[in-house]
Amino acid sequence: MKNPARSILCCLALTASLSAENLLVNPSFELGPTSWNTFIPAESVAQAPVLEVVKKNARTGTSALRLSTQTSSRFAFGSHPAISVNRGERFRVSAWYRVEPDSYAEDTKPGFLLRINFRSEHAGPETPSQHIYVGPTGVASKNIGPRLIKPNLPDKWTLLEAIVEVPADAHGMTINLFSWGLTGTLWVDDCLVEEVAPGVAATPLG
C-alpha cells in the first residue's frame, strides 16, 4: 500500500517544481541580448534611446539591462520566443529595476513598466496583441493610466511583480521591459515568468 503522506509530499514537490520554472530563456541577461529584441517606436527614434546589456551594475550575476535616454520617450526590450499558453492559465511575471538618482519620469507617465503581450495563433500579423500593463505601483491594467504611476521611482533594486491570467483565444505570451516617459537611465535584471497554481489569485485589473 502506498504511504499517503509520501504521495502528498511527492505531489507538492512536483507542483513546486513546475511553478518554480522560469520560462524566459535569458532572464538575467548573462547571455547578453540573446532571446531579447529591441523595440523603438517611430516617434521615439529621434530621441536615440540606448538599449544595451552591460557587464556592470547587475543585481545578481555579472550583467544587467540598461535603458537610457536624454529625452522622455518610449522604448523597450522584448522577450522571444513566445511562451506557449492556454486560456485561464496564470503566470507570475516580475523584474527587478532601479533608476539612476538623477532620472525622473513625466507626471503622466509611469517611467518603467512591464507589458505582457498575448497573441492568438488565429490572428493575422496586423492584428494587435492583447496587452496587460504592470506599472511601478504594482497595479495591472489593460490601459496606461494614473494608477500605474508612482511619483518617485526607486534608486535601489525594487521588485515589480504581478500575477496575470491568460485571456481567451491567447496562445502565446511575451514580455516587454519598457522605459516609458523616463529621462535618464533605468537598470533591469532578474526577470521572471513562471506558471502558478490555478488557485493563486490574479492581480486585479485596474
> How far is C-alpha 98 from the chain's CA centre?
14
Per residue in 107-117, pLDDT tens? 999 999 999 99
- 78, three cell numbers: 522584448
Per residue in 44-99, pLDDT tens? 999 999 999 999 999 999 999 999 999 999 999 999 999 999 999 999 999 999 99
Q: Cell 504521495 sits at which residue? A: 7
Q: What's the burial of 201, exposed, middle or buried (CB within 10 Å: 0-12/13-18/19+)?
A: exposed
Residue 7 has pLDDT above 60, yes or no: no
Q: What is the mean pLDDT of the chain?
A: 89
Q: What is the pLDDT of residue 129?
A: 78
Which of 122, 173, 115, 120 has its CA nearest to residue 143?
115
Dihedral over alpha carbons 65, 130, 80, 33 (to 10 degrees): -20
- 187, three cell numbers: 537598470
pTM, 2 dp: 0.88
CATH of 23-196, one of 1.10.3720.10, 2.60.120.260, 2.30.30.100, 3.30.450.40: 2.60.120.260
C-alpha–C-alpha distance, residues 118 and 130, integer Å: 5
The Cβ of residue 14 has, within 10 Å, a number of other Cβ atoms equal to: 10
Q: Cell 517611467 sits at which residue? A: 111
**Domain-wise residue ranges, the chain:** 23-196
Instruction: Please say whether the beta carbons of 133 and 62 come within 8 A.
Output: no
